[in-house]
Amino acid sequence: MGNSHSDVELMYRMAQTMGVDLRKRQSNGALDKDTLARLEQRCMECSNPTECALKLDGRACRVNPPAGQWPPSYCIDRKFLEFLSRLEKTSDNRQSQRAQNSD
């Protein structure tokens, strides 16, 4: 079972792979520190940190993989990370539309 701070870094890497910057979301108030702490704790309880690291290393050059391919099905935080990823994409689309409308 995972239980080290390096295992928590896997969560941040996974989120980044999905286009979500958890630290940025926390610093700008979009993600409260208690929620982030729960995500970290759940990640540390994962029974597959080695497999997760290997999968992340294999996807290091691929940001925003197609839906359903990432995170792995065993990921404890999968549903919440997918939710945040959808929020990021919605936000990015709105910003892009605003930029196009202002041109």
| pLDDT tens digits along 37-91 | 999 999 999 888 888 888 888 765 455 555 556 788 888 899 999 999 888 877 6
- How far, in Å, are 33, 53, 60, 62, 81 from residue 26 at the CA level? 7, 23, 23, 24, 14
Average pLDDT over residues 17-31: 90
Average pLDDT over residues 12-27: 90
Average pLDDT over residues 21-35: 92
Position 2 pLDDT exceeds 50:
no
Average pLDDT over residues 23-45: 92
In the numeric block, the tokens 């108030």 are attached to: 29
Domain total of the chain:
1
Q: Which domain range does residue 28 map to?
A: 5-102
pLDDT value at position 57?
83
